[in-house]
Structure 1
Amino acid sequence: MPQITVDYSRTIEPAFDRDGFARALHEATVEIAAAKPEACKTQFRPSEHTAYSYEDPAEARHAVVHVTVGLLAGRTEETKAKLTETALELLRKHIADEGIAVHASAEVRELDASYRKFDR
């Protein structure tokens, strides 16, 4: 914990500093949500195809990015809101403006009580 996933349209891949974003989000998660640095891990999942409104997907003028942060229960709503706002600020800083409209969102969710993990 935390389990962070970033789903994003592949069209912004050249403009998205994923390593810089992950590092900054890990630092923010430690500061805001009292996570341990060694527990922070992020998985990026590029999407080959993004559909937006009635736009022809071949035009690729829009991209979608969604960050999900899974934390163990116990954080306040204020803490979760601050972390999502910070994630959005960090996306703005780590996705260069290359003329594609970026639609970004973030959420913090509590991991289910059944959550378990192992490290090898």
Structure 2
Amino acid sequence: MPQITVDYSATMAPAFDRAAFAQALHTAVVDIAAAKPEACKTLFRGADGTAFGYDDPEERRHAIVHVTLGLLAGRTEETKARLTEAVLELLREHVRGDGFVLHASAEVRDLDPSYRKYEG
């Protein structure tokens, strides 16, 4: 915990400093949600195919990024909202404007009680 997934349009990859974003995000999760630094894990998934409205995807005028943070239950709604706002601010800092409109979103969800992990 936390389990962090970042889904993003692959076309924005050159403009997205993923390493710096992950480091800053992990710091925010520790500061805001009282997670342990060594527990923070982020998986980046670049999507080759994304679409926005009726625009032609080949024009690549839009990029989409969505960050999902799965935390163990017990955080207040205020804490979750502060964390999602922090995520959006970090995206503003770590994605360069590169000729596309960025559509960014984030959510914090409680991990299911069945959540288990394995390290080996």
What TM-score do you get using the length of structure 2 for normalisation? 0.99
Q: Does 1:39 align with 2:48?
A: no
Spell out, residue by residue over 1:71-97, the C-alpha distance to the aligned partner (whole angstroms, 9 max, x if none): 000000000000000000000000001
- Aligned partners of 2:91, 2:52: CA distance in 1, in Å? 19
- Aligned partners of 2:12, 2:42: CA distance in 1, in Å? 18
Secondary structure of the structure 1 residue equivalent to 2:118: coil
The corresponding residue for 1:25 is: 25
The corresponding residue for 2:86 is: 86
Secondary structure of the structure 2 residue equivalent to 1:43: strand
Shift, 1:66, TM fit: 0.1
- Aligned partners of 1:13, 1:98: CA distance in 2, in Å? 10
Shift, 1:105, TM fit: 0.1
The corresponding residue for 1:100 is: 100
Q: Which amino acid aligns with 1:54?
A: Y
What is the CA RMSD across the aligned residues, in angstroms?
0.4
4+ residue segments displaced more than 6 Å: none
- Aligned partners of 2:65, 2:57: CA distance in 1, in Å? 16
Unmatched runs of 5 consecutive residues or more in structure 2:
none
Q: Which amino acid aligns with 1:2?
A: P
What TM-score do you get using the length of structure 1 for normalisation? 0.99
Aligned length: 120
